[in-house]
Amino acid sequence: MVHQTMKTKIRPAPRASSKITHMTAFPRWLAAAAILGAVSACTLAPSPTPDRPAYPGPTPTPASGPNGPAIERAGARWVPVDWTELPGWTDDRAAELWPALRQGCTKPPAPWAALCERAARFSPADDGFAREFLQQELRPYRVEARDGAATGLATGYFEPLVAASRRPQGAFTIPLYRPPADLATRRPYWTRQQLDTLPAARASLRGQEIAYVASPLDALVLQIQGSGRLRITEPDGREHTVRVAFAGHNEQPYRSVGRWLIEQGELRPDAASWPAIRDWGQRARPERLNEMLWSNPRVVFFREEPLPDDPPGPRGAAGVPLTAGRSVAVDPSAVPYGTPLWLDTTEPLSSTPLRRLVLAQDTGTAITGAVRIDYFWGTGAQAEQQAGRMKQPLRVWALWPK
């Protein structure tokens, strides 16, 4: 899921600390794993036998005290720390990470294959059980920029749910397109304004319509987020939901419409959220709305995917479905896909702490830098409200195999 965001301002992150309980010599998750013998959809693992414990695991090491040297990455420096540095570590519902972990383990990066095999043998009995497993398997590292800065920015994204029609009718006149046939032959491709106004550019999109939405703002938010769900009306009157997923773009630069509105004096920098942008767009005169839309020359093209009865999240850049509240987008030069992260940030428009385990499973054009994440809120109107207002200070710790 390739997406862009419209965020502008960073504030210093709050300081906080928390104590944790150190591991015992024989952790309870190990005993429980042997008793439960549970399996999951992670990676297939051999069944336990009398001479093979259910969890072979690494040799336990103390949970306190930094271990090993810093890890140098192209876009970040990871500094080993004590588990006690992670604020609120014992307060999270850590067992909720397992669905996202299992999704990631269907395509495990090389350093994670052994851990995925062990994690497949049980389901966490409770949150403490999950934490002990992670503390036995992983080491915490504070993520810093190459210049040592450890404070950054958390923004949010979501999967839009938009009403649509299979053919143009009534208010449904704004098309969503598949990639045009000549997309690879013209680089960069036509800009957004050219595709809207030039006959030759418009001709390239003829026959590529997937469906029609009622507002150019609906089309814009689908393009910014990179995918979404359409509650679609078919020509025979049937209604059902499909997903439109990212299938390419016109290779034009992404420009934030929120930044354009700030530069035009239409929004204050501290108020440039997606709800505010949508509200401005609904009140704007048509010529001003087009001016805003055309300020971002990038156009995203989609492919249609069916949805099962209990649909998973959209696929992130790591190739696995995203989990609401447990998946984030990162800069992969700073944080490899599949890495568990501990976040220390706050709820949107609030000082309420948001401290939890997440997995790096996606990226986005605007997600650059070491201490930088985009938090996946899920699908629908509530997720849109939360994501659209999220622009919070952030600190991040990466958890990496021992």
CA distances from 58 to 105, 115, 132, 370, 401 (A): 19, 10, 13, 29, 10
Helix, coil or strand: residue 231:
strand
The answer to the question of residue 178 being in a domain is: yes
| C-alpha span between 104 and 98 (Å, rounded) | 10
DSSP secondary structure letters along 113-125:
HHHHHHHTT---S
- Alpha carbon 391 to chain centroid distance? 15
Which CATH number does the domain housing residue 279 bear? Answer: 2.40.240.50
The answer to the question of residue 396 being in a domain is: no
Cβ–Cβ < 8 Å for 226, 291? no
Tokens encoding 218: 């609906």
Q: What is the pLDDT of residue 4?
A: 61
Overall domain count for the chain: 1
| C-alpha span between 149 and 169 (Å, rounded) | 53
User: pTM higher than 0.85 for the full model?
Assistant: no
Q: What is the pLDDT of residue 42?
A: 32
Query: Each residue's pLDDT tens digit in the chain (402 positions)?
Result: 666 654 433 333 333 333 333 333 333 333 333 333 322 333 223 333 333 233 334 333 333 345 579 999 999 999 999 999 999 999 999 999 998 998 888 888 888 989 998 888 888 999 999 999 999 999 999 999 999 999 999 999 999 999 999 999 999 999 999 999 999 999 999 999 999 999 999 999 999 999 999 999 999 999 998 899 999 999 999 999 999 999 999 999 999 999 999 999 999 998 888 889 999 999 988 899 999 999 999 999 999 998 987 788 999 999 999 999 999 999 999 999 999 999 999 999 888 999 999 999 999 888 999 999 999 999 988 999 999 999 999 999 999 998
The answer to the question of residue 263 being in a domain is: yes
The answer to the question of residue 41 being in a domain is: no
CA distances from 286 to 171, 223, 290, 291 (A): 15, 20, 6, 9
The answer to the question of residue 261 being in a domain is: yes
Look up the domain containing 273 and give its range: 159-306
Q: What is the pLDDT of residue 3?
A: 63
The answer to the question of residue 383 being in a domain is: no
| C-alpha span between 201 and 197 (Å, rounded) | 8
Place of tokens 């700073």: 334
Checking 184-188 for CB contacts under 8 A at 24+ apart, the result is 187/251, 188/250, 188/251, 188/252
